[in-house]
Amino acid sequence: MPIKSTIIKYGDHVDTDVIIPARYLNTTDLAELGSHCMEDLDADFHQKVRTAKIIVAGRNFGCGSSREHAPLAIKAAGIECVVAHSFARIFYRNAINVGLPIVECPAASEALREGDVLTVDLDSGQLTGPGGEAYQAAAFPPFMRELIALGGLAPYIRKQLEAQA
């Protein structure tokens, strides 16, 4: 099912320390992590996320430490998808592992502006912006779409093991 929402826009090199500041890493409470997401980067983030469910960013989103807390905080804050020019590789893997859909699409990253409405189709990799502007990203293979739909790697593996039993 496509994800359609207003976007929140950020630039290049948004690191995990501003996604979720280190002072909150002592909690495993997802609601607590979500409540502090982006607070050092964007004081209005929690106001924006009431209506905007997609982040669009520049290059190297999620750089910095390899903490899983960053994609967990984004997801817990209510973000349903992140589109960026590029992602730090460990962030990319961590996001998929926790069931946060992320899409690399340089053209969309460069063209879209804060407040634009974007539709993301994970099945086809098609992104549609304001005025019907189309952008193409790589589609997720079926197993990754299932992994994301189930909420991440742990539920996906659990389902695979149950099917074998």
Provide the 3-class DSSP secondary structure of residue 46.
helix
Among candidate residues 55, 159, 160, 156, the one with its CA nearest the CA of residue 102: 55
**Exposure string over 40-60, b if 16+ CB within 10 A, otherwise e:** eebeebbebbeebbbbbbbbb
Given a contact cutoff of 8 angstroms between Cβ atoms, the answer to whether 132 and 118 are in contact is no
How many angstroms separate the first and last alpha carbons of the chain?
30
Among candidate residues 99, 82, 79, the one with its CA nearest the CA of residue 37: 79
What pLDDT score does 1 carry?
74
What pLDDT score does 69 carry?
94
87 burial (CB, 10 Å; 0-12 / 13-18 / 19+) is buried
What pLDDT score does 97 carry?
95
Task: Indicate the DSSP class of residue 67.
Answer: -
Among candidate residues 121, 110, 84, 117, the one with its CA nearest the CA of residue 7: 117
pLDDT along the chain (165 residues), means of 10: 94 96 91 96 96 98 91 97 97 95 97 97 96 94 92 92 89
What pLDDT score does 88 carry?
97
> Domains in the chain, ordered, with CATH?
3-164 (3.20.19.10)
What pLDDT score does 67 carry?
83
The two tokens of residue 75 are 């997801």
Report the amino acid identity of residue 42.
Answer: D
Give this prediction's pTM: 0.94
